[in-house]
């Protein structure tokens, strides 16, 4: 609870006792507060800044502000109250916080008792000596926070328990003020100290909670990396081993997955901001992700958004046991992308470029087919040869001279002139379905390859437009017969 809240608590306590005549007006004087009963040096000691340290003393998380100047002898008057106060605190916590009301659970009862005892003892010790060691109390309250994390709960239950204990302690101090030998104003200081103390032990509990969460998250990430390695193993790992690893990693096994390969790690060095079901191992070379259900609604947009600013390739979706195949495709696509085969798209999806990838695998056989089918263009000047090859590919893919003109941004008459020239050069090949398919194949491969020299600007794939699916070249080739 913050300082203002503590002040309000102290004010309420003062108002409750304002009408009592037992202590008299003299109890409010400065001389009574700092006079009799204050040991030599207690005034300076009790004004010590909260969190000031001696060698080896526990440093409180977030400690700030000053501990109220309470006479040290007050601690001696409070100690006999502690056993009854602890029992009352336990009863209040179990009555008001459902999570701690477990009559049959001995471990919970022990944890509540240990926390109440340590809090009461440490509070009184702190009044006696503000520089008293926090080591033991810090360990107790950190463990309480760790326990909440291990149960999978938020800190709300523990914070409610701390508030319940503080209410009981404040009621007890109010009752005790009627017979204890200290000024009325000291009750306000005790209330302020109580709320400061609650802030401190709440911070210790939150620290333990955060540490436990970090350990759990680290262990979960280790298990997820182990699962990723099993899924990408060659030959595939045993189905039982994968199922057990998926259970430990809290990962639901999907029907399809895509493997993503990145050129480099994220610039931030941390995990990529993607949903928890996306497995990540950014320490691999190259970094790899496994994306479940990649064709689900919105999944592609989610992936492209999460990978913004990175260069990579997304393998085609495959069954879980074939994840290594998707990995190979993604690596191949990334290699081609780094050579400029797909323009300047940062994220390449294999399914958008299947035809280009197949053509790239043709190698010397594809070169031989090109030599054979494009023989009529041999011997021409390079500019004229490229112009006619571009026109022939546009015709094979569209089948109409008007479409050729529109695609190449030329006059329809120019398109017709070029097509007549191609008819003269290639003759019956343009009427043969197999020949047209092979012509489309070699021209598409020639068009997909990097045509620019080292000093030329890179070719941009407009809006990273997906290429036609595999087999489209064969279909468009056959359509070319309708001239």
61-78 pLDDT, tens digit each: 444 457 888 888 888 888
Task: Please give the distance of CA 101 from its chain centroid, rounded to a whole number.
Answer: 35
Q: Exposed, middle or buried: residue 135 (CB in 10 Å: 0-12, 13-18, 19+)?
A: exposed
Positive or negative, the CA dihedral 379, 384, 386, 388 is: negative
**Greatest CA separation found in the chain?**
122
CB 164 within 8 A of CB 7: no
Q: Is residue 271 part of a domain?
A: yes
Q: Give the residue-averaged pLDDT of 22-30.
A: 31
pLDDT of residue 474: 35
pLDDT-based confidence at residue 323 (cuts at 50, 70, 90): very high
| 368 and 343 housed in the same domain | no
Pairwise CA distance, residues 149 & 216, whole Å: 9
148 and 186 belong to one structural domain: yes
296-303 contact pairs (CB < 8 A, 24+): 300/349, 302/274, 302/275, 303/260, 303/274, 303/347
| Phi, psi for 247 (deg, rounded to 5) | -65, -45
Instruction: Mark whether 52 and 198 lie in a shared domain.
Output: yes
312 and 186 co-located in one domain? no
Report yes or no on 174 lying in a domain: yes
Output the CA angle 313-315-317, nearest 5 degrees. 145
Do the Cβ atoms of 242 and 320 come closer than 8 Å?
Answer: yes
Task: Write down which residue in 352, 370, 385 finishes a domain.
Answer: 352
Give the model's pLDDT for residue 103.
61
Q: How far from 174 is each of 70, 123, 170, 192, CA to CA, in Å?
A: 16, 16, 6, 13
pLDDT of 102: 66
**pLDDT score, position 153:** 73
In this prediction, residue 212 carries a pLDDT of 80
What distances in angstroms separate CA 71 from CA 68, 129, 271, 361, 410, one per listed residue? 10, 10, 53, 87, 98
Looking at the fold, whether 343 and 378 belong to one and the same domain comes out as no
- CA–CA dist 123, 131 (Å, integer): 12
C-alpha to C-alpha distance for 229 and 233, rounded to whole angstroms: 6
**Residues forming a β-bridge with 258:** 291
What is the token pair recorded at 288?
């790899």
Q: Which pair of tokens denotes residue 407?
A: 């695609």
Q: Which percentage of the chain shows pLDDT scores above 90? A: 34
Residue 87 corresponds to which tokens in the numbers above?
């029992």
Give the confidence band of 234 by pLDDT, cuts at 50, 70, 90.
very high
Give residue for tokens 């306590």.
13
Least confident of 28-42, 87-101, 177-191, 334-348: 28-42
Structural domain boundaries, residue 378? 361-479
pLDDT for residue 186? 83
Note whether 388 and 375 are within 8 A (CB).
no
Distance (Å) of CA 113 to CA 71, 79, 101, 171, 339: 28, 17, 12, 19, 68
Please answer whether residues 149 and 209 qualify as being in contact, where contact means their C-beta atoms are separated by less than 8 angstroms: yes
Lowest mean pLDDT among 168-177, 297-306, 350-359, 472-481: 472-481
Query: What is the H or E stretch that residue 118 is in?
Result: helix 106-128
Tell me the C-alpha distance between 52 and 44, whole Å. 13
Beta strands in 171-293 (DSSP E): 256-262, 279-281, 288-292
CA distance 439 to 426: 10
pLDDT in tens, 337-364: 998 888 888 999 999 988 788 878 877 7
417 token code pair: 């002139």
pTM, entire model? 0.49
Tell me the Cα Rg of the chain: 39
- Choosing from 352, 381, 408, the residue where a domain stops is 352
Omega before 286 cis (within 30°)?
A: yes
Q: Are residues 381 and 282 in the same domain?
A: no
Same domain, 101 and 17: yes
Percent of the chain with pLDDT over 70: 77
Does residue 28 lie within any of the structural domains? yes
Tell me, yes or no, whether 127 lies in a domain: yes
Dihedral, 18, 22, 26, 27 alpha carbons, nearest 10? -70
The per-residue pLDDT for 365 is: 76
Residues 317 and 172 in one domain: no
Q: What is the pLDDT of residue 464?
A: 54
pLDDT reading at 57 higher than 50: no
Q: Is residue 221 part of a domain?
A: no
Backbone phi and psi for residue 336, each to the nearest 5 degrees, phi listed first: -65, -40
Of the given ranges (188-192, 263-267, 274-278, 300-304), which has the lowest mean pLDDT? Answer: 263-267
Res 99 pLDDT > 80: no
Give yes or no for residue 36 having a pLDDT over 70: no
Q: Which two tokens stand for residue 95?
A: 């009555």
CA–chain centroid gap for 351, Å, is 28
pLDDT-derived band at 399, boundaries 50, 70, 90: confident
Q: Is the pLDDT of residue 193 over 70?
A: yes
For residue 165 the two structure tokens come to 């204990």
**65 shares a domain with 125:** yes
| 20 has a pLDDT exceeding 50 | no
Q: Return the pLDDT at 455.
A: 31
Specify if 413 maps to a domain: yes
Q: Exposure of 109 by Cβ count < 10 A (0-12 exposed, 13-18 middle, 19+ buried)?
A: middle
Domain identity same for 311 and 365: no
Highest mean pLDDT among 169-173, 275-279, 400-404: 275-279
Please give the full DSSP string across 250-279, using - where no structure is assigned: T-PPPSEEEEEEESS--TTSS--S--TTSE
In-domain check, residue 404: yes
Q: How many domains does the chain have?
A: 3
Residue 242 belongs to a domain: no
345 and 451 together in one domain: no
- Please give the average per-residue pLDDT across 404-426, as a whole number: 93
- The top-scoring range by mean pLDDT among 42-51, 357-366, 465-474 is 357-366
Residue 286, classed as helix, strand or coil, is coil
User: How many whole angstroms separate alpha carbon 355 and alpha carbon 19?
Assistant: 91
- pLDDT tens-digit readout, 367-396: 888 888 999 999 999 999 999 999 999 999
Position with higher pLDDT, 399 vs 475: 399
Phi, psi of 281, deg, nearest 5 = -135, 90
pLDDT given at position 409: 93
7 token code pair:
């002040």
The residue out of 214, 238, 269 marking a domain boundary is: 214
One domain, residues 430 and 383? yes
């Amino acid at each position: 609870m913050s300082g203002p809240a503590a002040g309000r608590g102290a004010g309420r306590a003062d108002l409750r006792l304002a009408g009592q005549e037992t202590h008299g007006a003299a109890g409010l004087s400065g001389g009574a507060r700092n006079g009799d009963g204050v040991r030599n040096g207690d005034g300076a000691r009790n004004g010590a800044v909260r969190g000031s340290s001696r060698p080896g003393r526990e440093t409180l998380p977030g400690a700030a502000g000053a501990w109220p100047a309470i006479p040290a002898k007050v601690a001696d008057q409070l100690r006999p109250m502690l056993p009854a106060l602890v029992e009352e605190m336990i009863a209040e916590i179990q009555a008001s916080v459902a999570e701690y009301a477990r009559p049959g659970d001995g471990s919970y009862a022990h944890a509540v008792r240990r926390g109440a005892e340590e809090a009461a003892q440490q509070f009184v010790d702190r009044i006696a000596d503000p520089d008293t060691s926090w080591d033991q109390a810090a360990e107790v309250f950190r463990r309480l926070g760790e326990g909440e994390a291990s149960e999978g709960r938020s800190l709300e239950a523990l914070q409610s328990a701390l508030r319940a204990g503080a209410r009981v302690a404040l009621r007890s101090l109010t009752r005790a003020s009627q017979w204890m030998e200290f000024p009325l104003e000291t009750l306000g200081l005790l209330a302020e100290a109580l709320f400061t103390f609650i802030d401190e032990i709440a911070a210790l509990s939150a620290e333990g909670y955060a540490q436990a969460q970090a350990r759990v998250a680290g262990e979960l990430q280790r298990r997820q990396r182990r699962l990723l390695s099993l899924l990408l193993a060659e030959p595939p790992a045993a189905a039982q081993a994968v199922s057990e690893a998926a259970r430990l990693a809290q990962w639901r096994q999907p029907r399809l997955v895509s493997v993503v390969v990145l050129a480099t790690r994220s610039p931030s060095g941390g995990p990529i901001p993607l949903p928890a079901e996306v497995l990540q191992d950014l320490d691999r070379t190259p970094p790899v992700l496994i994306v479940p259900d990649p064709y689900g609604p919105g999944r592609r947009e989610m992936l492209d958004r999460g990978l913004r600013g990175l260069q990579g390739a997304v393998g085609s979706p495959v069954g879980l046991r074939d994840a290594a195949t998707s990995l190979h495709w993604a690596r191949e696509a990334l290699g081609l992308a780094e050579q400029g085969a797909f323009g300047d798209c940062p994220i390449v999806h294999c399914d958008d470029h299947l035809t280009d990838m197949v053509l790239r695998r043709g190698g010397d056989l594809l070169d031989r087919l090109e030599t054979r089918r494009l023989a009529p263009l041999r011997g021409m000047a390079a500019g004229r040869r490229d112009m006619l090859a571009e026109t022939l590919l546009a015709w094979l893919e569209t089948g109409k001279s008007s479409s050729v003109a529109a695609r190449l941004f030329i006059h329809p008459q120019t398109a017709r002139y070029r097509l007549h020239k191609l008819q003269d050069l290639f003759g019956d090949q343009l009427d043969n379905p197999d020949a047209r398919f092979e012509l489309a194949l070699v021209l598409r491969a020639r068009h997909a390859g990097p045509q620019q020299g080292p000093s030329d600007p890179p070719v941009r794939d407009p809006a990273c437009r997906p290429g036609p699916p595999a087999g489209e070249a064969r279909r468009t080739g056959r359509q070319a017969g309708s001239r």
